[in-house]
Structure 1
Amino acid sequence: MMKKISRYFIFTLFQKIYCQLIVPSQRYLHTVTLIDNKLYIIGGQYLTDISLETIGKEFICLDISIPFNTLELFWQNLTNINKVPPHIGAASAENGANLFLYGGISINDDEKDLIYMFDTRSNSWITINVIGETKKAFLTSVDYEGKMYLFGGKYKLNDKVSNDMLIFDTISLSLSSGSLINAPSMRFDYGAVLLPNQTIVYLGGSIINNEALPLNEVYLYDTIEDSWSVKTTSGYVPSRRSAFSAVLYNQKIIIFGGKGTTNFTALYELDITNFDWYIPKISGEIQNPRYWHKANVIGKYMVISFGCCYDRSIESDILLLDISNDYEYVWTTYFEPLLPSSLPGELPTQAAETSLQPNSPPSVLSPIMATSITIFLLVIIFTYSCKWHKVIKDMPTIPAYKIIRKSR
């Protein structure tokens, strides 16, 4: 076991040394996509549109297969292979080893195509041309079984807010439309979470005048039946909000941040079994709220990436909330992934035990072999003892005086 742990940390150290140590630009309105234990982050801006030219072009990656401290992040710089023009407000999804990037707003709308695909195996970008293009931004993509569900958002040319449901099939590379019957009102900057029953929950958001929407109602889109329904929530209903993050963990939707929130109003959870809102107990160093950030559930953590507007001199670009204990969430700075069951070139413990099944286990073989050897040795000793006894018995008796004389 100690040998496996030692090899694991040597492998971890090698990974850290191999990655380029860079300090990425602070950003919001970016995309974050989790593929094969790596967070791929692209696009965004910060404070002024001028920064879009630089930040929007950056393409960075964080390896989450190894432990890390948020106070010392090891980013991999992929900007030199980025083929996507600087942009904000795009949506992303994954399918296998591929990252799909939809929509968004660029400095020059004519420069950016609607959909890009990044192959993480070959580190290459591909532009995808689809029929029935609809360019939208500031929406939350939910991906399931190779499909991106793209509800609402803003049309990038005239800033009109929509409430249509676009569905992009990442396998057939085609666009289709979902039902609008009983659909929510037009909105953008909302939260969206996919439930285990393949239903998407939509929460809050903003309307055309940037007014935040309430969370006393949530809207459900059934991806199987292509139908909408609404649920009234109860309990400690959060204040109106937009530009927040939402994730699902243990039958609960956890939301964080949003415009206008404070340290005391930033974190809520919605129990999806009864649609009651709760304020979870929190410990650790309480983090200031953000908005236009992104969040992912990775292992036992809610991992929050960048956003607006935090003080980088005292806060990390990455926030970690340990949500493994339903009774108390903990803000932490240390990320610890599960140890791999085996390392490259090492036989897994279970496989090693299975390979010994045809024979007796070592714990059984050792006593048997020891007993057999002991009996064998006793037999040999007994046999030779008998022979020597017989030899001595058959020897003639010689008087003592003859022995003395002979010795002289």
Structure 2
Amino acid sequence: MRIDWKKVTIGLPESRWGHTSVNLSDNGILIFGGNGSVNPYNDIQLFRNGQWSTIESTNPPLSRYGHSATLFHNSSTQQSQIVIYGGRATSKPFSDIKILQFNSNLKGTFIWKQLSKSSNSPDGRAGHTAIAWKQKDLVVFGGYNNHKSKYYNNVQIFHLETLEWKQHACEGAVPSGRATHSTFLINEQYMFVFGGFDGKKYYNDLYCLDLERFMWRKIDVKGVLPKARSGHSATLIQPDKVLIFGGCGSDSEFLNDIHILHIPIGNIGNGDFRWEQPHINSASLPSPRFKHTTNLIDNRIYIFSGTGQGTLLNDLLILDVYDDNGNSIFRPLLSSTPSNNTLSTSLPIPTSTPLSSSTSIISSSPLTSSSSVIPSPTTTTSIISNTIISTPSISNTTTTTTTTTTTTSSPKSTQNINKKNSSKISLQVIPTASKQSSLGSLGNELYRKDIDELANIINNTTQSVQLKKIEDKLKMEQKSKHNLEEKLSKANMQISQLTDKIEQELPKTKNELAILQLQLSHMNSNDIDNLPMESYESLEDIHIQSLIKLRSKRMERSSKHSNEIQSLTDRLGDCQSSMGSKLEYLTSQLKEIQEKNNQLELENKRLLARNQQLQGLNLDLLEFQDILSLEDQLSQSIRKISQFKDQLYLKQMNLLRREKEQLQEQSNCIVCAINPANVVLLPCRHSSICSNCSNKLSTCPLCRATIQNQIERFT
């Protein structure tokens, strides 16, 4: 496969990384959140029809990045909702669920719905992935929690109908915990996980989870494996092809390579998975990036923002993918069917465009006499970019040349260019044998004309696109102004209605206020001189009833106070009786303690006197029998002390005997271990053998030195 790409850098929202993007049903992209150069974002950006716009919403969630965003669509009600889970703005990740609800036609308001945290909610995480399964379940895998220094490898499922979480147990070859990996769903049953990072190691392995059985399997993929990476993107560009782009690898190396995974969708269990690295038809490559987003809309791949090499990337990459024959993998070929006896050629193409052996190659330089193509009698076909160029058979005497431009950025513009150039077709019949140079001149002239016309078309197209952008922006501003004017008109109308209502009610309110003030004055016995008799009687009745009510309230309050005083008196009596009983108990306890103290003092005096008697003091106070008893006790104590002393002497003698034996053993001859060592060997001066053994040895048993002489010592 081969890839063409271009970069757009104007009219974009603020650069960011760690954001999320969702494909809408009308070929639009909705982007939420991300981390900027200063703070994270919580805005909603919409890309549709080549234009960016900001979506206003009610009750937006907190700013975050590293979250997941998953689209759920109800085709019957034409309602859509995007489920936002997790992410972070500080070291502690979020664990909340936010749901953005809106109409699928993007009309009306965008409303955020916040769900309360349930008891079985999983830990907060960031860098995880989430997919929509059967349009009713959110399947979450992986992620990390900086606050707990933990990477996850469990599968969490959030049910949109019950709004409850469930951790599903899985079997098989479960992948290790990781984050910033990629996930994609195949055949609405198989969830694939590629790459990621676990805090120490980057991965380039591929795992598959069967969501019907919740069985994991590690996939062996043929071809050249991509580098291990995280923070990359994975985009399903065809039912059996996934495009991997960018990421960050080992040694913090930012990547910009592209790989395509071929999936055997008809035989997931036993088919062959294969990696392919396509060729990029450009002298330069896209900027390396990390934590960007990639979407496939309108048969093109859009890559937005991200970070790389320490900078935020504020750009939008647009990719077109072609097969090995130069055909777009997304849309059918645009073919031209020339008339008989004509030769169709194209404008210059890059020399790297793949052509088969039967393809007629048109040089990228202007046609000259030496580069003219002399066709063969048979028909051949050349495939250049998105156009099939056919060369039918011609006669041997004449050649008719038709030049048509075919390289363009979209099918619509291709049709316009072909239509315009069809009026500029130059036909000239030239004898083949005699006027080869004229054919070359004609080719040069046609080439220059087509180049000039193509440049004019591109300039006009660019200007028309810019004018359309300005007109769209002006229409949006006019629409916004019109909406504001309508709101202001409605507000003025409401103010006018309220003013009229107030003016109508004001005289009535003033009359009621005057009547109430007059009644109050009469109640205070003011201005009652000219009142009729009925008014006097009415006022008297009112005062009498008020007096009765006041007396009744006073009696109730007095009775209530009396009851409260009686209750307090009763409580005081109960407290006094309770305190009296407690005081009696404490008094009895104190007496017992004093008696015990007196007994201890007497016992202490007795023990002191006994001690003095044992020391031979105050013996004149004792009776004869007491003295005899004391003498017996002392005799027994002396015998016990003497026995204990003898035991200590015996232990010390045994200890000394053992030490003496050990010393004797150490001083015995090391050869016979019987006789004492009494010979000094020369010249080493070691004394470790006896005189008997020294006569039998020629070397010292300790240092192996030759014995030259020996001296016997006596003890």
Q: Confirm or deny a common fold (TM above 0.5).
A: yes
Q: Deviations over 1:104-161 (max 9, x none)?
A: 1134859x66010111233111101253112211112222222221111012531311
Q: Please tell me whether the aligned partners of residues 134 and 188 of structure 2 are also in contact (alpha carbons under 8 angstroms).
A: no
Q: 1:101 aligns to what?
A: 84
Cα pair distance change 1:142/1:336, threshold 3 Å: farther
In structure 2, how many angstroms separate the alpha carbons of the residues matched to 1:82 and 1:266? 40
Runs (5+) with no aligned partner, structure 2: 1-9, 74-79, 104-108, 265-271, 330-407, 413-715
1:270 aligns with 2:258: no
Give the letter for the 2:69 counterpart: S
Give the letter for the 1:299 counterpart: D
Q: Report the Cα offset of residue 59 of structure 1.
A: 2.3
**1:106 partner SS:** coil
In structure 1, how many angstroms separate the alpha carbons of the residues matched to 2:69 and 2:410? 26
Q: Report the Cα offset of residue 34 of structure 1.
A: 2.0
Cα pair distance change 1:286/1:22, threshold 3 Å: closer
In structure 2, how many angstroms separate the alpha carbons of the residues matched to 1:145 and 1:82? 28
Cα pair distance change 1:156/1:115, threshold 3 Å: farther
In structure 2, how many angstroms separate the alpha carbons of the residues matched to 1:240 and 1:195? 22
Cα pair distance change 1:154/1:109, threshold 3 Å: closer
Within 5 Å, which residues of 2 pair with 1:30-49?
30-37=19-26, 38-47=28-37
In structure 2, how many angstroms separate the alpha carbons of the residues matched to 1:82 and 1:336? 40
Give the letter for the 1:43 counterpart: G
Match 1:174 to one of 160, 164, 175: 164
Q: 1:58 aligns to what?
A: 43
**1:85 partner SS:** coil
Q: 2:98 aligns to what?
A: 116
Q: Report the Cα offset of residue 22 of structure 1.
A: 6.6
Give the letter for the 1:319 counterpart: L
Q: Please tell me whether the aligned partners of residues 84 and 116 of structure 1 are also in contact (alpha carbons under 8 angstroms).
A: yes
Q: 1:402 aligns to what?
A: none
Q: Report the Cα offset of residue 165 of structure 1.
A: 0.6
Match 2:112 to one of 118, 125, 128: 125
Aligned length: 297
- More strand by percentage: 1
Give the letter for the 2:301 counterpart: M
Q: Please tell me whether the aligned partners of residues 101 and 111 of structure 2 are also in contact (alpha carbons under 8 angstroms).
A: yes
Within 5 Å, which residues of 2 pair with 1:175-324?
175-181=165-171, 182-196=173-187, 198-209=189-200, 211-213=201-203, 215=204, 217-250=205-238, 251-260=240-249, 266-273=257-264, 274-284=272-282, 286-309=285-308, 317-323=315-321
Q: Please tell me whether the aligned partners of residues 87 and 104 of structure 1 are also in contact (alpha carbons under 8 angstroms).
A: yes
Q: Which moved more, 1:287-296 or 1:238-247?
A: 287-296
- More helix by percentage: 2
Match 1:137 to one of 126, 131, 149: 126
Q: Please tell me whether the aligned partners of residues 44 and 56 of structure 1 are also in contact (alpha carbons under 8 angstroms).
A: yes
Q: Deviations over 1:364-391 (max 9, x none)?
A: xxxxxxxxxxxxxxxxxxxxxxxxxxxx
Cα pair distance change 1:310/1:157, threshold 3 Å: closer
Q: 1:15 aligns to what?
A: none
Q: Please tell me whether the aligned partners of residues 293 and 306 of structure 2 are also in contact (alpha carbons under 8 angstroms).
A: yes
Q: Report the Cα offset of residue 276 of structure 1.
A: 1.6
Q: Report the Cα offset of residue 242 of structure 1.
A: 0.9
- Higher relative contact order by CA 8 Å / sep ≥ 6: 1 or 2? 1
Give the letter for the 1:28 counterpart: W
TM-score relative to the length of structure 1: 0.65
Q: 1:152 aligns to what?
A: 142
Q: Deviations over 1:22-75 (max 9, x none)?
A: 75221001111223333221211135xxx22xx423322112xx2x2xxxxx32
Q: 1:372 aligns to what?
A: none
Give the letter for the 2:193 counterpart: Y
In structure 2, how many angstroms separate the alpha carbons of the residues matched to 1:243 and 1:170? 28
Larger radius of gyration: 2
Cα pair distance change 1:324/1:170, threshold 3 Å: farther
Cα pair distance change 1:197/1:95, threshold 3 Å: closer
Give the letter for the 1:58 counterpart: D
Give the letter for the 1:272 counterpart: I
In structure 1, how many angstroms separate the alpha carbons of the residues matched to 2:317 and 2:303? 5
Q: Please tell me whether the aligned partners of residues 113 and 127 of structure 1 are also in contact (alpha carbons under 8 angstroms).
A: no
Q: Please tell me whether the aligned partners of residues 60 and 79 of structure 1 are also in contact (alpha carbons under 8 angstroms).
A: no
Cα pair distance change 1:161/1:109, threshold 3 Å: closer
Runs (5+) with no aligned partner, structure 1: 1-20, 69-73, 339-408
In structure 1, how many angstroms separate the alpha carbons of the residues matched to 2:116 and 2:207? 31
Cα pair distance change 1:188/1:108, threshold 3 Å: closer
Q: Please tell me whether the aligned partners of residues 242 and 260 of structure 2 are also in contact (alpha carbons under 8 angstroms).
A: yes
Identity of aligned residues (%): 23
Q: Please tell me whether the aligned partners of residues 91 and 101 of structure 1 are also in contact (alpha carbons under 8 angstroms).
A: yes
Q: 1:5 aligns to what?
A: none
Cα pair distance change 1:86/1:22, threshold 3 Å: farther
**2:99 partner SS:** strand
Cα pair distance change 1:159/1:318, threshold 3 Å: farther
Could you list the structure 1 runs, at least 4 aligned residues long, displaced by more than 6 angstroms after superposition: 310-313, 334-338
Q: Deviations over 1:68-102 (max 9, x none)?
A: 2xxxxx32113564611111111010111111100
Q: 1:162 aligns to what?
A: 152
Give the letter for the 1:125 counterpart: W
Cα pair distance change 1:108/1:59, threshold 3 Å: farther
In structure 2, how many angstroms separate the alpha carbons of the residues matched to 1:100 and 1:236? 36
RMSD: 3.1
Cα pair distance change 1:197/1:77, threshold 3 Å: closer
